Amino acid sequence: MRISLSALMGFFLGLGLFALAVYLNTENYLMFFSISSLLMVFGGTMAVAMISFEGRNVMLAFKEIIATLTTAKVDPRTLYEDVGVLIDWAKIVRRESLRKLENTVSLSAEDDQNFLGQCFVYLLSGYRGDKLRVLLQHAQQSIYERKMTQSKVLMTMASASPAFGMIGTLVGLIIMLNNMNGDPSKIGAGLAVALLTTLYGVLMAQLIFKPAARKVEHKQELEAYRNKVLTEGVVLLSDGVSPAHIEDAMNAYLEPKYQFKRA
């Protein structure tokens, strides 16, 4: 797992601009910290997420928030390596047989559980041509929809946090007005505390939940593209075409820098 420097820079830039604005305009930094306001926003956002989705998906969504600062698993290099695996499989099938491929290839635990592992299982099960393509396309769609649930959770939380920020502000205003006892001097300080919940809600939505949701979408789009490429390659392999033919077909999906130069 590699840290994404661009995501890290963006996160610290956002926090840094907020901190700079506070630093340049006041010396009372503690007035921007309120445990009760934070609990109101975070607790309300969690409540909405737990009501709207299964608890397992909510927990997975929080894992995706942490994963926002990491790079995507799929990139031109990994796609090149996956196509290389397909070409190696085609060479084995061409020289020996499909049964030899089963005895020769040993997938890692990670590969065995992802789309490449499914491709291998379907291939050895004897599926060919369009029937194999339909099966793999269904598997692609299932994986995509299942993993996009975390994006939906995060977008729901991004919508809920500003709303609970506003609710916290209204609660604070009601308490403030009730405790004024005719003293107008208390309005400024009380209003500042009440508005903190709105600030927290907006910050959580714009700096945490929405970027995490977009990152999930981006990662799944890359994963879907990878699975599409693997599908085409495995279907060609099942039809018994040559490694060179598979290589030429796969080069259409690869960046020029990572294209193969004849199998």
* pLDDT recorded at residue 109: 52
Round to whole Å and give the CA distance between 151 and 129.
34
* pLDDT recorded at residue 21: 85
Tens of pLDDT along the chain (263 residues)?
Answer: 677 888 888 888 888 888 888 888 888 888 788 888 889 899 999 999 999 999 999 999 999 898 888 887 888 888 888 888 888 888 888 887 777 777 777 665 555 457 888 888 888 888 888 898 999 999 899 889 988 999 999 999 999 999 999 998 888 888 777 776 666 666 666 677 778 899 999 999 999 999 999 999 999 999 999 999 989 988 888 888 888 888 888 888 888 888 887 55
* pLDDT recorded at residue 110: 57
Q: Are 70 and 2 in contact (CB under 8 A)?
A: yes
* pLDDT recorded at residue 3: 79
Q: Are 176 and 187 in contact (CB under 8 A)?
A: yes
* pLDDT recorded at residue 158: 95
* pLDDT recorded at residue 161: 94
* pLDDT recorded at residue 184: 65
Tokens in use for 192?
A: 């500042």
Q: Are 83 and 254 in contact (CB under 8 A)?
A: yes
* pLDDT recorded at residue 163: 94
* pLDDT recorded at residue 92: 82
Q: Are 211 and 10 in contact (CB under 8 A)?
A: yes
Q: Are 186 and 180 in contact (CB under 8 A)?
A: yes
Look at the pTM and tell me if it is higher than 0.85. Answer: no
